[in-house]
Chains A and B, each alone.
Chain A
Amino acid sequence: DIQLTQSPSSLSASVGDRVIITCRASQMVAGYINWYQQKAGKAPKLLISAAFSLQSGVPSRFRGSGSGAEFTLTISDLQPEDFATYYCQQSYSRQLTFGGGTKVEI
């Protein structure tokens, strides 16, 4: 299976900050990385597909980038509603895998 390692596992930030979350794959995944946001007690929500394609309705302060085996999710101008846990996920291989998550706290 392709392993996805997210860093950091948690971070503290303030409203207005810029936050960068990294997702490293154990092998090349050809840009097939998706990002999800999960708030406490809720189902995850798809934010970004194929490394950088913002889903409809997702604010433009969310940006995905990267290629090969290293990807980042950048949240600019952090808003109160952005405090959540973020997961990367690969669908390069037929065995889907997720990163361990990054909790963004106030």
Chain B
Amino acid sequence: NAGVTQTPKFRILKIGQSMTLQCTQDMNHNYMYWYRQDPGMGLKLIYYSVGAGITDKGEVPNGYNVSRSTTEDFPLRLELAAPSQTSVYFCASSKPPTGWNTEAFFGQGTRLTVV
């Protein structure tokens, strides 16, 4: 299985440009997450989704939008890129936290630079 796949792996954006970071998972997980990680820091939750059609804000949602039209896909949209959004973005998925099995699986990240 591919697990969690993120595209692109790298991207350079100019200030004010827009882009969509793609994330797809093939594990039929209901829960999906977007995190960002700035240099030397831990991961910060941007948005998460507990199922198709349901999304909610995390710790740092400003400047981002998400949608969840299918179980598999959870794209992250940057509308007006700013230098403060230069970061590494990680997508993750997990089963609903029922019982014991709640391991989250992470993608390999998208390294975004805004200049």
Instruction: Answer yes or no: do A and B interact.
Output: no
Interface residues of chain A, those whose CB is within 8 Å of chain B, are none
Interface residues of chain B, those whose CB is within 8 Å of chain A, are none
